[in-house]
A and B are shown apart, each in its own frame.
Chain A
Amino acid sequence: MVTWLQEKWFYVVIMALALIVPFFVPNRYIFQIIIMSCLFAIGALSLNLILGYTGQASLAHGAFFGIGAYGVAILTTTLGWSFWAALPVAALSSAFLGLIVGIPALRTRGAYFAIATLCLGEIVVLVAGNWTGLTGGQNGIVGIKPPDAIPIPMIGEISFQSQTSQYYLVLAFLLLTIFIMHRLVYSLKGLTFMAIRNNEVLAEAVGINTTKAKLLSFVVANFFAGMAGGIYASLISSISPSVASLKITFDFLLYVLLGGAASLAGPILGAFALPVLMEYLQFLHGYQMIVFGVLLVVVIIYCPRGLMGGITNLLAKINNKRMGS
């Protein structure tokens, strides 16, 4: 059964479309939504690694996103570092913190792990809001510069002041993330993660060190969350403790679950579809979120594998019809 989702040329077309987006985008507002969606897609893809593929419900993802954001913010404003030096350090800090909390936290399973990560996330928000000396407390950090220009010998430099350049920057990082996730997931290592999600006891019995594997998945996921957060801080120029909040975690969760967990396209789809949906619901003003909440419940009951699940089902049905049932 070959669906056109698996054809290489489909992705080439998508890539081509992605590259020419800046020429067709109607206004700054929509462009900003697209840029943010690309950024959140990175966050959603990384959450998908630990949640969708490895089956561990980390509710601290927003916190690690926030750590990356604060990392870049503090290093570039207070210490005057270049964005290009600050970003890897911020992402690595996020990963390192993930390692430290992961070692005790991953000894817990299921609901306990969810709650433990929930609490860890809250601790990060509380510290960010109260450690005024480092983080600016509730006021956060303002005046974060966009990424420093990259000098190119003989031609000049690429600056990142314009939306278009920022779009290509985010697109590049998104592609990098997709590439790494793809390599990781379509491999024995990826199978190992899925084995843990499917049947942890059997995974141990066949010789998989599940603790190490879970930790790896968690640390990698948090690295990318931190990376996304760092880029976010630089583009949005000011951050506050809300950047590490549960709301961000829930956003990522929704993108992954409604887009379709345990697939690479799902979280990306979710990261674009949901903000678009929210925009459409804007006209409802105060009732926007209520409708959203109701939609959430309805979708998860009737379409649990998310958009991707719905799409693959549809394609399977079309394929069956074509082959003559």
Chain B
Amino acid sequence: MLLQGERLVKHFGGTVAVDDVTFNVNKGEILAIIGPNGAGKSVLFSLISGLHKPTSGKITFQGEDITGFKSHMISRRGMARTFQLTALFDELRVVDNLALGYQKRTTGGTNFWATLLHSAGWKADKATMEAKILETLGFIGLEEKALELVSTLSQGEQRRLSIGIALVSDPELILFDEPTGGLIQKDTDEITHLIRKVNQTGVTVCLIEHKMRMIMDLANRIVVLNYGSQIAEGAPAEVAANPEVIEAYLGRKRDA
């Protein structure tokens, strides 16, 4: 088990966003988290990635208890994520974004004095980073746009970049929060293909999505949330046939 969440609860004032959820993610798999709007999926992600502290419950990542850790600490331990509304450093260029994604992997290279004096360590770090950025650019297909400002990219390209930022640091686990939200079909297919490629390199994927066809195609396992609690879990076919799931999405069938 790469990631485990036990009895997670999150209150926001009076609202219970996440209500006693227990789930796990196995190494190498693609786990999808689905559920109607407001079911608490994004909040669950924010608990795992450290954006918010759980009101109660425990989160274990790679055997370590990371409950309550801040997001930068969790990020440094090999977790990366994308956000629902494309989160990029939109004042900077494509390469800068990737460099920032890579930044946590540098060793002494970002140390203040090393930077000032252009030490050997700094130079070595710079070289490794540039190589990795080039590699990632190729992987996400943005080589030609490397020196462009993010604002000149299309929606689909921006999404690919946000995946690139997550990928460039060689994470163990990437959390994708609705990576195809608001995209046209062509771009959706591109992203789906990219996520599969990412998983094939050995990265574990945890994915929030609404597009059922994409989920059925991609996911090894699915967890279903509704009103903050977990209502189903299992292989895609199983979950699709689960009456509670159908009810959550479509409403109860009224007797004639």
Which residues does A use to contact B, with CB under 8 Å?
Answer: 180, 183-184, 187-189, 191-192, 194-195, 197-199, 201-210, 216, 220
Contacts and interface: CB of A to CB of B under 8 A. Distances in A.
B76 A207 contact: yes
B104 interface: yes
Given A206-B80, A210-B72, A188 B99 contact: yes
B103 A208 contact: yes
Nearest to B70: A204
Given A187-B115, A205-B81, A207-B104, 16 more contacts: A188-B110, A188-B126, A188-B129, A189-B110, A192-B103, A192-B110, A194-B89, A194-B91, A202-B83, A205-B72, A205-B75, A206-B72, A206-B75, A206-B169, A208-B72, A216-B112
A205 B49 contact: yes
Contact of B115 (A188, A195, A197, A207): A188
A216 B116 CA distance: 13
Interface in B102-118: 103-104, 106, 109-110, 112, 115-116, 118
Interface string B49-76: 1010000000000000000001110011
Q: Is the interface of B mostly helix, strand, loop or mixed?
A: helix
A180 B116 contact: yes
B92 interface: yes
B90 interface: yes
B87 interface: yes
A85 B106 CA distance: 37
Interface string B142-176: 00000000000000000000000100010000000
B72 A202 contact: no
Interface of B: 49, 51, 70-72, 75-76, 80-81, 83, 87-92, 96, 99-101, 103-104, 106, 109-110, 112, 115-116, 118, 122, 125-126, 129, 165, 169
23 contacts: A180-B116, A184-B116, A189-B112, A189-B115, A191-B100, A191-B103, A195-B89, A198-B90, A198-B92, A199-B88, A201-B87, A202-B89, A204-B70, A204-B75, A205-B49, A205-B51, A205-B72, A205-B83, A206-B75, A206-B101, A206-B104, A207-B76, A220-B112
A-B pairs with the 3 shortest C-beta distances?
A207-B104, A207-B75, A204-B71
Nearest to A262: B91
B90 A201 contact: no
Contacts of B91: 194, 197-198
Nearest to A184: B115
Most buried by A among B49, B51, B91: B91
Contacts of A194: 89, 91-92, 96
B116 A195 contact: no
A208 B71 CA distance: 9
Contact of B96 (A191, A202, A203): A191
B116 A203 contact: no
B89 A199 contact: yes
Nearest to A183: B116
Contacts of A207: 72, 75-76, 103-104, 169
A206 B104 CA distance: 7
Nearest to A188: B110
A187 B80 CA distance: 23
B32 to A, nearest CB: 21
Nearest to A209: B72
Contacts of B112: 184, 189, 216, 220
A183 B89 contact: no
B116 A198 contact: no
A230 B89 CA distance: 37
Contacts of B109: 188
B99 A201 contact: no
Contacts of B81: 205
Nearest to B90: A198
Query: For B76, B90, B115, which residue has the most chain A Cβ atoms within 10 angstroms?
Result: B115
Contacts of B110: 187-189, 192
Contacts of A198: 89-92
B195 to A, nearest CB: 18
Contacts of B116: 180, 183-184
Nearest to B129: A188
Contacts of A203: 89, 100
B101 A201 contact: no
Nearest to A202: B87
Nearest to B117: A183
B200 to A, nearest CB: 23
B72 A188 contact: no
Contact of B99 (A180, A183, A184, A191): A191
Contacts of A184: 112, 115-116
A216 B90 CA distance: 23
Contacts of B169: 206-207
B71 A205 contact: yes
